[in-house]
Amino acid sequence: MTHFPQAFPATRMRRLRQAPWIRSLAGENVLTPADLIWAVFVHDGEDRMPVGSLPGIDRLSVKDAARAAIRARELGIPAIALFPYIGADGKDETGSGALDPDGLVPRALKAMKDAAPEVGLITDVALDAYTSHGHDGLLDEDGTIPNDATTEKLVQQALVHVGAGADIVAPSDMMDGRIGAIRTAFEEENFTNQMILAYAAKYASGFYGPYRDAIGSATALKGDKKTYQQDPANSDEALREVALDLAEGADMVMVKPGLPYLDIVQRVSSTFGVPTIAYQVSGEYAQIKAAAQNGWIDGDRVMMESLMCFKRAGASGVITYFAEEAAEKLGG
């Protein structure tokens, strides 16, 4: 004779799973296109350039980036995060191209705002795409990254971006004090409505490889970024980083990478109660795509499941290369 728990059969958990309509009604989280931020690469050319390590992802021309903004509006995707590919001839030791008001990112911002002003534009504030050594900041002769001198450059870069139409700047460099410095500069220059999304908990991860291919920094990078990005072993440290960035004037915070760090997403979201963005990074995207191409997983199902996991962990939104594809499936 089978012995059931005392609560059975009064409680049968499967009652709420028996049909799609009741699963939908009882669902705890809902994913919509409004939860997605579309990660887009832009380059200074006329044609689309495929990124070999990111199947299905191209670097877009400025004109194509404007079309992507229109597409985002059509699909109900609220914002685009813009990342530049800079060729070797546009790089130098100090990343001076990042400060050019007529550079690639400012031109793309203006074109995208003209095409679809309703779509929010987020820019990456860091020097890695522009430096010949591939680091997010300046590089001293002894191989160290000078924090305060780098921050001065980042402030200038952020001002260039908001001057060209960026709604949100997202400093991804992990220099200490840069959020406060950017916020002070924004106030002084009367950019009082421009927002800061702090890469507050950005880890020194192995999941960034395809991204570095996409922006052209993979072969340039000298050494690693462990002296300024967080140790993957640490969790409490992330909370300290978030608290500092919020105190300095960040409007939103980010956890990067995404799926391997859902515990950090949950801790940050529940501890601070502020908009918490997760970045489903290039390595996560590439793994799903590669496994699907090999027939090992149902790519569409895993894509949607992975995005829902961010919502379940407490993310307010997800930066993802899947944004267009997922929004189409969600009926955007």
Read off the pLDDT of residues 257-312 as tens digits, 9 standing for 90 and up.
999 999 999 999 999 999 999 999 999 999 999 999 999 999 999 999 999 999 99
Q: Report the half-sphere exposure of 261 (CA within 13 A, side-chain side).
A: 32
Look up tokens 């109900």; give the residue.
76
Pick the CATH number of 30-329 from 3.40.190.10, 3.40.50.11540, 3.20.20.70, 3.40.50.720: 3.20.20.70
Active-site choice (91, 153, 225, 256): 256
pLDDT at residue 128, as a whole number = 94
Look up tokens 């978030």; give the residue.
242
- Residue 320: strand, helix, or coil: strand
Helix axes 282-293, 299-313, angle to 10 degrees: 150
Residue 218 tokens read as: 């993979």
Residue 4, pLDDT above cutoff 90: no
**Mean pLDDT, the chain, whole residue set:** 96
Torsion of the alpha carbons at 135, 139, 141 and 147, rounded to the nearest 10: -130
In 3D, which of 165, 159, 45 has the Cα closest to residue 109? 165
Q: Is 248 annotated as a binding residue?
A: no
pLDDT at residue 1, as a whole number = 59
Residue 5, pLDDT above cutoff 80: no
Dihedral sign (CA 207, 255, 323, 84): negative
Residue 330 tokens read as: 């969600």
153 in active site: no
- At residue 37 the predicted structure's pLDDT band, cuts being 50, 70 and 90, is very high
In 3D, which of 268, 280, 209 has the Cα closest to residue 244? 268
110 in active site: no
- At residue 3 the predicted structure's pLDDT band, cuts being 50, 70 and 90, is confident
Torsion of the alpha carbons at 185, 187, 191 and 197, rounded to the nearest 10: 70
Q: In the chain, what are the domain boundaries? A: 30-329
Furthest-apart CA pair in the chain: how many Å?
79
DSSP letter for 98, please.
G
Whole-number Å distance between alpha carbons of 291 and 314: 27
Active-site choice (153, 202, 225, 311): 202
pLDDT tens digits along 74-86: 999 999 999 999 9
CB contact at 8 A, 165 and 101: no
pLDDT tens digits along 214-252: 998 877 788 899 999 999 999 999 999 999 999 999 999
- Comparing 202 with 220, the larger pLDDT belongs to 202
Whole-number Å distance between alpha carbons of 123 and 129: 12
b/e burial code for range 33-46 (CB count within 10 A of at least 16 → b): bebbbbbbbbbbee
* C-alpha distances in Å from residue 198, one per residue of 53, 80, 220, 241: 27, 16, 25, 10
Please compute the mean of the pLDDT values over residues 198-203 and round it to a whole number.
98
CB contact at 8 A, 76 and 34: yes
